[in-house]
Structure 1
Amino acid sequence: MCGIVGYIGSQNASDILIDGLKKLEYRGYDSAGVAVFAGNDIEVVKSKGRLADLEKKMEEVGKPQGFCGIGHTRWATHGEPSDINSHPHSSAHVSLVHNGIIENYLPLRQMLQGDGYVFQSETDTEVVVNLIDSFYHGDPLEAIREAVLRLEGSYALGIIFEGETDKVYAVRKDSPLIIGLGKGENFIASDIPAILGHTRDYYLLEEGEIAVLTRDHVEISDIYGNHVEKEVQTATWDLEAAQKGGYPHFMLKEIHEQPTAFHNTVSPRIVDGLPNFACDKICDEDLRRFERVVVVACGTAMHSGYVGQYLIERLARLPVTVEIASEFRYKNPILNRDKDLVIIVSQSGETADTLAALRLAKKQGVFVLGIVNVVGSSIAREADAVIYTWAGPEIAVASTKAYTVQISVMYLLAIKFAMLRGFADEAFAREYTSNLMSVEEHIAEILKDSQSFQFYASKLQNAHDLFYLGRGLDYALAMEGSLKLKEITYIHSEAYAAGELKHGPISLIVDGTPVIALGTQKSLFEKMASNIKEVKSRGACVFLICDDTCENTAQIADFVIKLPALPEIFMPLLSVAPLQLLAYYTSILRGCDVDKPRNLAKSVTVE
């Protein structure tokens, strides 16, 4: 979950590394550091805190001056955030940065201590640098190969060696790493935004591959020393897409990008008014044979799976289960290789638990469909088929537009499955597809009304506890709304199926407790209204989200957020923006760091 960068070229390495780390700070911001060749010596500067703290320290002690180096921004796993635990870590001959977790670090540490190595930090990373050092006898590649053969767990490593002033080494397993290709300069990075200011061309480093970077050349070999030929990839994002574009925060920018992201994802997959996945090289016969769908994901992506479950079961009568990726492979799941479709959902395409679930399903011979945003990511490469959500870069830790495009794909799949299984004729499918296409303009209209959401947020900012209620699809949305609020405001929040209130949770409602009630499902509105009255009678302050055809809402709720009316099955696509804006403005009013909430990182690449 950390971010790593490396540089070799003719520019000041410290400046390049800091700039790259700023683009990766969403991956971790507990501490940061750089190691740069200053002449023949490796100079390390690192600090607890944000990158601004590292830059301040550089002003005090002096910025390393050189043309080759590595950098790191950390999300702590082993050892608390501190100067000592910060990366880079160094031994007598080696400095490195690391993203991942070394699972067998304790026995390795004990072995190295027996060989005389003294450890300064609590990290698993210091074990790696000392292990490489122990095998180093003048050949960096041999030392790296010998070391990684003994590592268990996940890692992406950027490494420099004493005396090797014109080389950066990189190796990966289960953690993402790319090689940026410049002119007279080359880069390593955890993610594309770190290199976009310099190049859009890159190599994807595969499992177990080791790269050696000089200014003018990149040599890649496998763990056995065999040369590997790579295909040059070109990023579809530009630098502007990874900037704030005049918005105060990435999260607000990405909320407002949802109409465009929705259009970019849905439009290419509608041909002659009907869902069509030919652009994804998925034909009808690929989908027709399945008798069960298993959606596996984490966090926001998992919540998109719950929406997909409602849609596919309702329209196509195809059974769907949604599994938490971190639990999936430990429960010995029952999968049928001939009849089951496993859908893996991940914005980054690198989510560690989700990737492990994919590999388990593949091992059992089950067809795997990936829904991911990042082209060429691990999940995209390893799935049998992939549907890309063309959302563009999502930088804010709290996911917004990624969720919207993920559920938009679920709508397309649900309509397609309904047609293939005989539960929707062409007229029905065209009507539903037309309604889906109309969503874009409605989302744009909702996003124009920021002033109202600032007002509603002012009523939530001092809350200690908050509850979200919904039924059916609204319950699926309630889970995402609650997650978004707790992620960036630190208000304790829970989502409940409204009918479950009387089975325990209603005991938590006291005078003034905010309750956000989703009532967009017309067929369930009367039931929902009864649940609202139950919490109101116990003192709750209710915010009702419903469509603009609902009447007498002032008698039900304290505050009412009305949305354009669409058939109820499409309302989740409209409801999500208000939930995101409520969370965003509440976070602002509480003085929280919206884009970098505490203890969280954007891409969860460790278990």
Structure 2
Amino acid sequence: EVIAHSVSHEYLQSGDLFASVEAACKRFHGAFAIAVMAQDNTDHMVVARMGCPLLVAFGEDETFIASDVSAVIAFTRNIAYLEDGDIALLSTKGIEKLIDKNGESSERKMKVSELSLASLELGPYSHFMQKEIHEQPRAIADTAEVFLGGGFKPENFGEKAREVFGEIDSIKILACGTSFYSALTAKYWLESIAKVPTDVEIASEYRYRDVIANPKQLVITISQSGETLDTMEALKYAQSLGHKHSLSICNVMESALPRESELVLYTRAGAEIGVASTKAFTTQLVVLFGLAVTLGKMRGHVSEAQAQEYTEELRQLPGSIQHVLNLEPQITAWSQKFASKNSALFLGRGIHYPIALEGALKLKEITYIHAEAYPAGELKHGPLALVDENMPVVVIAPN
């Protein structure tokens, strides 16, 4: 309502909707994506964005706006992504006028989306999260193909990757939620395989604290959507402090993070409709593992024979995951033991601790059952006091 009144105030004085939105946006703070239409001119619409995703899609004598391509793919594949600070005048013919964050006239290139309509259909599954869980073998195989087909080469991450990887002395990973847990997992690989010192931080915390910048540190951002505001702002903050090199790992082509990053590698998970991330998490792990092996080879810590072993392990991964998915009836039976519980404990040691964190997050998100995760060795330092005969405990211990 405040936004509408602000634009209306300007429009009553000028009668120019585009100029009214431009003037109003100068007073706005924070993140927004808006679409404005005047009652006396329904042939045009003005849209603006700052910090929130917004795209324009072009049909035949029709124009669409949406926050995600999945909303318009049934009507058209021709899309243009607006950037932060953009204000655009739209008609049924498309974008008639656009200015950027500096108020200068600009253009946004139209691209053809490759998103599959089949990925937006539920099919035989009960809900999208179940579907996406069962899509993991395919998603992982597709994501791993870049390493299986071409090897662990820096060029997989961009044309300048070999030069960038040769300059860095450490890594900083910024992410939120599930992506943060994939980053924590990757820390073990990057330090044990590539021997690169690695820090992992929650993006929403990093952007609000004093940071000592290291120009030789590679800043990696991870986001399924590529539009996570805290992660995006954390990257901008790092760049403002003097971090020269950045790599984004995300699942959505042409999203904000890749546009702001020096290097990028996309996961090939396909559209993820479910709120709780599943296949995006596991495909992020594939990319991060590939990064660790790539850096390890460049630095002389991974031999060609070892790289071949890693390649074969990646090749077998989809089959191994399918084997686990075939246990769904047994897993469903196990879930009955959790259904009546009020809380649960997840334990893991080493690289399995972040997996325990992700498991606890999933239980909280989906069932609203309180769940906590701890390093297994910390159980005796407090959490054990909460364990009784009614507390289910999940231990991540593959070996």
Residue 341 in structure 1 maps to residue 218 in structure 2: yes
Write the distance in 2 (CA, Å) between the matches of 1:193 and 1:219. Answer: 24
Residue 276 in structure 1 maps to residue 153 in structure 2: yes
Among residues 118, 121, 128, which one is paired with 2:3 in the alignment? 128
For the Cα contact (< 8 Å) 2:345–2:393, is it kept in 1? Answer: yes
Write the distance in 2 (CA, Å) between the matches of 1:417 and 1:335. Answer: 22
- State the superposition RMSD in angstroms: 1.4
Among residues 50, 72, 81, which one is paired with 1:204 in the alignment? 81
Among residues 103, 110, 114, which one is paired with 1:236 in the alignment? 114
Write the distance in 2 (CA, Å) between the matches of 1:167 and 1:285. Answer: 47
Code of the residue aligned with 2:4 in structure 1: it is V
SS of alignment partner, residue 358 of structure 2: helix
**Which residue number corresponds to residue 169 of structure 1?**
46
Which residues in structure 2 correspond to 1:13-162 (within 5 Å)?
A: 126-136=1-11, 137-162=14-39
For the Cα contact (< 8 Å) 1:270–1:276, is it kept in 2? Answer: no
Write the distance in 1 (CA, Å) between the matches of 2:391 and 2:337. Answer: 11
TM-score by length of 2: 0.96
Among residues 246, 270, 288, which one is paired with 2:124 in the alignment? 246
Write the distance in 1 (CA, Å) between the matches of 2:185 and 2:212. Answer: 22
SS of alignment partner, residue 379 of structure 2: helix
- Give, in angstroms, the shift of residue 432 of structure 1: 1.6
Among residues 487, 491, 496, which one is paired with 2:369 in the alignment? 491
- Give, in angstroms, the shift of residue 318 of structure 1: 1.3
**Which residue number corresponds to residue 420 of structure 1?**
298
- Give, in angstroms, the shift of residue 414 of structure 1: 1.0
Write the distance in 2 (CA, Å) between the matches of 1:492 and 1:355. Answer: 29
Write the distance in 1 (CA, Å) between the matches of 2:90 and 2:299. Answer: 53
Which residues in structure 2 correspond to 1:341-490 (within 5 Å)?
A: 341-366=218-243, 367-490=245-368
Identity of aligned residues (%): 39
In structure 1, list runs of 5 or more residues that go unmatched.
1-125, 523-607
Code of the residue aligned with 1:321 in structure 2: it is D
**Which residue number corresponds to residue 102 of structure 1?**
none
Residue 317 in structure 1 maps to residue 195 in structure 2: yes
SS of alignment partner, residue 159 of structure 1: strand
Among residues 328, 332, 347, which one is paired with 2:210 in the alignment? 332
Among residues 58, 72, 81, which one is paired with 1:181 in the alignment? 58
Q: Larger % of helix: which?
A: 2
Code of the residue aligned with 2:51 in structure 1: it is D
SS of alignment partner, residue 174 of structure 2: strand
- Give, in angstroms, the shift of residue 173 of structure 1: 1.1
In structure 2, list runs of 5 or more residues that go unmatched.
none
Code of the residue aligned with 1:447 in structure 2: it is L
SS of alignment partner, residue 503 of structure 1: coil
* Aligned residue pairs, count: 394
Among residues 106, 118, 140, which one is paired with 1:262 in the alignment? 140
Code of the residue aligned with 2:341 in structure 1: it is A
For the Cα contact (< 8 Å) 1:209–1:220, is it kept in 2? Answer: no
SS of alignment partner, residue 88 of structure 2: strand
Write the distance in 2 (CA, Å) between the matches of 1:342 and 1:378. Answer: 16
**Which residue number corresponds to residue 165 of structure 2?**
287
For the Cα contact (< 8 Å) 1:467–1:494, is it kept in 2? Answer: yes
Residue 220 in structure 1 maps to residue 97 in structure 2: yes
Radius of gyration: which is bigger? 1
Moved segments of 4+, more than 4 Å: 223-226
For the Cα contact (< 8 Å) 2:189–2:292, is it kept in 1? Answer: yes
Write the distance in 2 (CA, Å) between the matches of 1:476 and 1:207. Answer: 33
- Give, in angstroms, the shift of residue 140 of structure 1: 0.4
Write the distance in 2 (CA, Å) between the matches of 1:296 and 1:216. Answer: 40
Deviations 1:59-100 (A, max 9, x none): xxxxxxxxxxxxxxxxxxxxxxxxxxxxxxxxxxxxxxxxxx
- Give, in angstroms, the shift of residue 277 of structure 1: 4.1
Deviations 1:175-234 (A, max 9, x none): 110001000111000111110110011111122222222222321321676542221111
Write the distance in 1 (CA, Å) between the matches of 2:293 and 2:173. Answer: 17
Write the distance in 2 (CA, Å) between the matches of 1:217 and 1:285. Answer: 40
For the Cα contact (< 8 Å) 2:247–2:261, is it kept in 1? Answer: yes
Write the distance in 2 (CA, Å) between the matches of 1:217 and 1:323. Answer: 41
Write the distance in 1 (CA, Å) between the matches of 2:46 and 2:17. Answer: 8
